[in-house]
Structure 1
């Protein structure tokens, strides 16, 4: 091996070591606590949503989360569709569901008067989407220390860990560890993906896990009063609203799972019939 190739290999090895060390340092400074497994009923290929939990989760969203967070992809009628929080088999059309009608009527939505063209506000109907709590992004920033609260329509799909992450994060706010400089408008959470190395004044080898959020802890024990008598602990509220957000991100998930099981059973049956036909046809051909 000539000297040029030897030097090249040494340089490459050095670069690989630097990259490895840099990546290791980055992972150490941007670590986070793994979400707790909350054992949701909808997990797995045969899992289904607990309707009572979805109703509790909607209440948490309505009374707490909707003050800051929108759900632009969700319409009121979705709440009454099959598998939804307020589904009632008596009302095949969710627009006819009286509970959904009542929920929609509790909201005001912006509209245009068809006769004058003026902007007006009216009571929502089942066909309307959930209204935003703010008129525009600037208003959202002004009310949240300069940060825009994310839309929650598909939040569990957009976050690694899904509903388990959302539930763990909502129940996981903690006082900032000693040695971590956190602004007055920020709040420490070990489950949040973030980089705390630049704010950490302690041992550089012991950077805390997690990150900071502009959102203060939104939930607490007895933050809401559940209609079904379930005790509203912090963890219960976090699990319930996480389940609701998981359903909202894919309202047809349960139906799709059931369809998948039916298709698999059909294919197995057809495979058996095909094999039996093959044996029958070719029995005497050998």
Structure 2
């Protein structure tokens, strides 16, 4: 028994992650258009009719801009916290909007989806672990620093989408204005290659079969460079870069290992330095 996972897109231009079993699936975020989501799903041999819900991590446009059209067209419930909904300003008229609470699992058929708080400059940001068939998949992106919640859940995952947003040296030398560099590298911004690698090395469980390096900056990171950093420390875990230009392949992740299915051709914010509360 396994879960099928893919990144449909990962980056500041849009984020969308698919996780499903043999009967149903969920999307974590939908930051690319409905048409592009459908196109990429079709190329992978996946059906949108199998998707039963969208879970929203936070209100930034690269995570939500495809939601209204996608949810209406396929009559998908959208799970979102009240503060995130308010700050998103999405028009979800005609859409079933459901709230979720950190550490309270939501059951979607045979899938259990648990959100938990994280550091990011958003109203009420959450990461997610999706569990089914004895397999746990984590989506850990848009994180300023790896708090205890992120570490605790990362240690339980058979596969994870892990943010590796920027290289410290590339960001320092980039054309970005100083305030933006501070935002990205601050405790409520994004994970650097160094931060993500430290988390991976210190807390990767022995049974983690895949890590998907995610949300790479177009200007301040290099896919080949960050993959090489992780490959050296992988210790049996397959390292995959989630592209900002196209979908990854579909992987079947099991608690016995994983199977590569097919290849492609083509804001109340916690003060800096404090740990997030459990709820």
TM-score (norm 1): 0.23
TM-score by length of 2: 0.23
Point out the structure with the larger helix share.
1
Structure number having the greater strand percentage: 2
